Amino acid sequence: MFNLSDVFIFLALAMSFIVSAYLWFTGHHEEGIFTAIWVPSILGFVIYFKLLGFIEMTKKGKNNG
């Protein structure tokens, strides 16, 4: 169901969120906001590359059938 790369991506997202929360609550608000922006950016890249892989997989399936 999940690839090893999915686990690493989830860990990167979790670490980014934890670091941003830590920075925010320790008084480093600008750094916390900057780090918090990484979470949706990483998710956007993941979705984009997953869709590219899905499109390539469906093209190969149509060409073989």
- Each domain of the chain, given as residue ranges in start order, spans 4-64
Whats the size of the chain, residue-wise?
A: 65
Tokens coding 29: 């608000």
Per-residue model confidence (pLDDT) at position 45: 92
Residues 20 and 14: their CA atoms lie apart, in Å, by: 10
pLDDT 10s digits, 17-58: 999 999 999 999 999 999 999 999 999 999 999 999 899 989
Give 2-15 as a DSSP string: --HHHHHHHHHHHH
Look at the pTM and tell me if it is higher than 0.85.
no
Q: What percent helix, strand, coil does the chain show, rounded to 5? A: 90, 0, 10
